[in-house]
Structure 1
């Protein structure tokens, strides 16, 4: 799939020769607040990556002063969040609720596209990462941050519970239920250093550029591996996270019964024996 297929209004997308896609949230004047257009494009972009053999790994960052200020509240007051019913009788709570639920599910699916994209995704966070920003980075495989990064599960401050993935994914990422509940109930500010201690981010770097450079280096290394092996590993990690050990083992046996037929395995083994760098074709 050519790069020109990734022309978006709220995102900048580039794909390197090594197969690393760089997705940059690009609404700096709005502090990268998520409009409907933004999250819709996130879903479209990562859904396309899933079937694009030119993409082997992705890095998700943001332009401007911060990663994201969260939901675009100006749009939320008058846009689809406020008018989700297609019924003529907007006073009927059941009908409004029915369509509002569908809207939330559509929103969830767009952000979940990051997780269901079989290509690994590394989030690079600088400045503030508020509200939906936590939903987004929680759906990524890895997270790195700059020293000025901070994180806020902001939803309680606007009178709602987070509903796009934070409450489902964050507890599985950090493994500290008490800490997760505290930050979700209080909407307090979490520094990059604290996020690193609890395991929300894997590393902290002096600046945004250094964090981005580190993420790109990791992405290039991942992109150099067998694409069959990498997508299989992500898929099986996600499956096993949500199932018992035995279910994960049985599913892996079925998956690898197919994946082991790849020519990448003998290529990798021979390259290792010859102490050479293996070259793998696109997925």
Structure 2
């Protein structure tokens, strides 16, 4: 792999360990993240020696989600007064690119096991919704935060989480943008188990990856393929729909207010305009 800025990748005993390392605060997801993620998982998918993947994060937090300051140029042209077809088309293309980055995780033929510690917000939840198995440390906290920044979540969580946590739980989390702790996440099925601390969560993810890697690799890939068959078409259709919806309806005074509040470090005041 070329030199990476947002991840490290280590391979050992048929297992690849992919670790988020920033460069944004709290492993926020910026341009490097979205450029490197599909490259990494494309190469791991094609590597015959790799049978399972552990997805982890450095530092106290898994991810603060989308790095709004770093990704602000993506929104700029769309927010110009009277933005017409060209900027909306460009924005639609960018949404699809971000979606495809996370889809590379979901479509990797090698099972992916995540270990989550600290905050897992917005895009972080989108990311873990694309893996196969999730473990959390006791300090983990989760939030589908997009509604609080005047955005309809559009890169995976709304489409991949219904079979994982159920539609009622998803509606509660997405519509309120509330935070939940690790114990609640385990209760609703977002994570398989809660471990005492980040090291234990990572150990659990590694142990499960080792168990997977000990099985016949093509059979494991077949199990993942069969389990994902019915879901994949519906997810793809939903991602296409929300990309078109956001390209049409995302620009608003509330979004401008949300972005300004982030940069000015204050509470936004939404007025539904």
Instruction: Name the residue aligned to 1:138.
Output: 129
Alpha-carbon distance between aligned partners in 2 of 1:80 and 1:197, rounded to the nearest angstrom: 37
Is 1:46 matched with 2:41? yes
User: Which of the residues 11, 14, 17 maps onto 1:15?
Assistant: 11
Alignment partner, residue 171 of structure 2: 181
Query: Contact 1:90/1:96 (CA < 8 Å) preserved in 2?
Result: no
Q: 1:90 offset after TM fit, Å? A: 9.3
Is structure 2 residue 188 aligned with structure 1 residue 198? Answer: yes
Specify the alignment match of 1:66 in structure 2: 61
- Tell me which residue corresponds to 1:221: 211
Question: In the TM superposition, what is the alpha-carbon distance from 1:241 to its structure 2 partner?
Answer: 3.6
* Aligned 1:19-34 pairs, distance under 5 A: 19-27=14-22, 30-34=25-29
Counterpart-to-counterpart distance in 1, 2:173 and 2:139:
18
Corresponding residue for residue 74 of structure 2 = 80
In the aligned structure 2, how far is the partner of 1:242 from the partner of 1:45?
A: 21
Moved over 3 A (4+): 89-92, 240-244
1:234 to 217, 221, 224: 224
Which has the higher relative contact order, 1 or 2, with Cα contacts under 8 A spaced 6 or more apart?
A: 2
CA distance in 1, matches of 2:233, 2:37: 27
User: Residues of 2 paired with 1:221 and 1:72: CA distance?
Assistant: 35
Residues 9 and 28 (structure 1), Cα distance of their counterparts in 2 relative to 1, 3 Å cut: closer
Q: Does 1:36 align with 2:27?
A: no
Listed as ranges, the gaps of 5+ residues in structure 2 are 235-273
CA distance in 2, matches of 1:6, 1:206: 35
Shift of 1:163: 0.1
- Tell me by how many angstroms 1:7 deviates: 3.5
Tell me if the contact between 1:19 and 1:223 (Cα under 8 Å) persists in the aligned partners.
yes
Normalising to structure 2: TM-score of the pair?
A: 0.81
Aligned to 2:94: 103
Change (3 A) 1:206 1:91: same
What secondary structure does 2:43 align onto? helix
Shift in Å, 1:167: 0.5
Q: Distance in 2 between matches of 1:13 and 1:215?
A: 15
Structure with bigger gyration radius:
1
In the alignment, structure 1 segments of 5+ residues that lack a partner are 245-283
